[in-house]
Amino acid sequence: MDCYVSGIGMTPFGTHPNRTLKGLLIDACTEAINQANKPKIDAVVVGNFMGGSICNQEILGAIAANDLGLGPIPTLKVEGACASGGIALRQAVLGILSGEYDTVLVAGVEKMKHVSTSEVTSSINAAMDNESNEKHAGLTFPGFFGVLANRYFYETGASKEHLAMVALKNREHAIQNPLAQFTKSTSLEEIMTAKMITDPLGLFDCSPITDGAAAIIISREPSDVRIVASAQASGVTQMQMAEDLLSLEAVKHSGAIAYEKAGLGPEDIDVIEIHDCFSMTEIISSEELGFFPKGEGYLALEQGRTKASGDVPINTSGGLLSRGHPIGATGIAQIYQIVLQLRGQAPNQVENANIGLAQNLGGTGSYSVVHIMERLG
């Protein structure tokens, strides 16, 4: 696939009381444009979830083109809950494959910290089906993934300590990442005894509320990093519809399609970003993507295999749990880390990282996007 990365940009993730949604978007885009040596850009795709509901700001595509002086080019925003960023990148890839565009600016952005936690929660719940009785009964996303975790414990023999190992690993990765939201060291004990959010998920098992933006420029023009495969799948929009609670079908499908397109398998991947909205999600998705057999993902944590120093390095950026989770930006921030890894410039650099994979999830497994990328030359 003739799609290459010509530049990347990312704001620090965290709290930006003095930056607007637009300001964050423009900051990340400007960095990517400068890194790519200001190419002629043919289109802009922005991933964003809550601009309308908590910022009263849509038209982010047109705003980016206008304020960056890119001319009267086609632009749009795409939404697919927490997978909005990954879907935005995929739309840019389709634009290039279609022959309509040579170079596309893709960005993801979210500003969430200026409103109350309950407003954020209410807005996030737009990623559930309004007509489902489970939403009316009060299910939230921590509730959904908490149920999954309890079922996983029951089926596999895993325990809350395995979830804590995910949280600790990702925090230890984030400590090395200057753009991460949480860089304070912690301990397994602090994680295990932290405030319970929804049994068995404690505070450290849940991704935070975050402001931030990330951007990437992709082009037909060859560079040192190539996108080998872009794949997307959808899944159930209500928890009760899942045939097997421990199977995130969209993740499995999107991974299988990506591997087939790339002519690669999980054993070929050197470095991985997985959508760890909750610690539990990282474990289940690491199985769905074929890195471990079903029901055995938690064992890899005991052995440290998913650390940056392990043989299956997952979330070397710190992941959503500790890098932060500005919803629309997350999918692009994953790509940002993979590109740094393939360039040999990443925090928690993995040796000989030649092939990377990023997986971005939305809703109750409603969306999953997988991109596989490779280092050239």
State the number of binding residues for its own copies (CB under 8 A): 62
Strand arrangement, sheet containing 367-375 = 43-47, 103-110, 212-219, 4-10, 225-234, 367-375, 355-362, 271-274
User: At closest approach, how far in Å is the CB of 333 from its own copies?
Assistant: 19
DSSP state of 65: H
Determine if 242 is a binding residue for its own copies (CB under 8 A).
no
Least Å from the CB of residue 106 to its own copies: 13
3-state secondary structure of 144: helix
- Residue 4 or 182 having the CB closest to its own copies: 4
Q: Site for its own copies (CB under 8 A): which residue of 77, 171, 173, 371? A: 77
Q: Given the complex with its own copies, which of 65 and 283 has the nearer CB atom?
A: 65
Identify residues 341-370 at the interface with its own copies (CB under 8 A). Answer: 362-363, 366-367
Our CB check for its own copies shows the closer of 51 and 208 to be: 51
Helix H or strand E encompassing 197? strand 196-198
325 catalytic per annotation: yes
Contact 12, 332 (CB under 8 A): no
* 97 makes contact with its own copies (CB under 8 A): yes
CB count, 10 Å around CB of 17? 7
Task: Assess 69 for contact with its own copies (CB under 8 A).
Answer: no
Q: What are phi and psi of 117, to 5 degrees?
A: -60, -35
Q: Are 235 and 365 in contact (CB under 8 A)?
A: yes
Q: Does 247 bind its own copies (CB under 8 A)?
A: no
DSSP 311: S
**119 is an interface residue for its own copies by CB under 8 A:** no
62 binds its own copies (CB under 8 A): yes
For residue 21, state whether it binds its own copies (rule: CB under 8 A).
yes
Q: What is the 3-state secondary structure (H, E, C) of 233-300?
A: EECCCCHHHCCCCCCCHHHHHHHHHHHHHHCCCHHHCCEEEECCCEHHHHHHHHHHCCCCCCCCHHHH
Q: What is d(CA 53, CA 49) in angstroms, rounded to the nearest whole number?
A: 9
**CB closer to its own copies, 129 vs 268:** 129
**Smallest gap from residue 79 Cβ to its own copies (A):** 4
Catalytic option among 16, 253, 275, 325: 325
If one asks whether residue 91 binds its own copies (CB under 8 A), the answer comes out as yes
Per CB under 8 A, 66 contacts its own copies: yes
State yes or no: cis peptide before 222, omega within 30 of 0: no
Q: Using CB atoms within 10 Å of the CB of residue 240, give its burial: 0 to 12 exposed, 13 to 18 middle, 19+ buried.
A: exposed
User: Could you say whether residue 143 binds its own copies (CB under 8 A)?
Assistant: no
Show the tokens assigned to 195: 């405030």
Q: Which residues contact 40 (CB under 8 A, 6 or more apart)?
A: 102, 103
Closest by CA to 312, choosing from 166, 155, 182, is 166
Specify the residue, 239 or 312, whose C-beta has the smaller distance to its own copies: 239
Residue 210 or 238 with smaller CB distance to its own copies: 238
Which of 232, 285, 286, 306: binder of its own copies (CB under 8 A)? Answer: 232
Tell me which of 82, 206, 253, 275 is the catalytic residue. Answer: 82
How far, in whole angstroms, is CA 14 from its chain's centroid?
Answer: 15
To its own copies, the closest distance from the beta carbon of 138 in angstroms equals 14
Q: Any catalytic annotation for residue 253?
A: no
CB atoms within 10 A of CB 68: 16
* Residue 132 or 159 with smaller CB distance to its own copies: 132
Please say whether the beta carbons of 63 and 249 come within 8 A: no
Give the whole-angstrom CA distance, residue 12 versus residue 38: 22
Show the site string, 24-53: x = touches its own copies by CB under 8 A, - = not: -------------------------xxxxx
Active site residues: 82, 325
Q: By the criterion CB under 8 A, which residues form the site for its own copies?
A: 20-22, 49-53, 55-59, 61-63, 65-67, 72-81, 87, 90-91, 93-95, 97-100, 122-123, 125-131, 232-237, 241, 249-250, 253, 362-363, 366-367
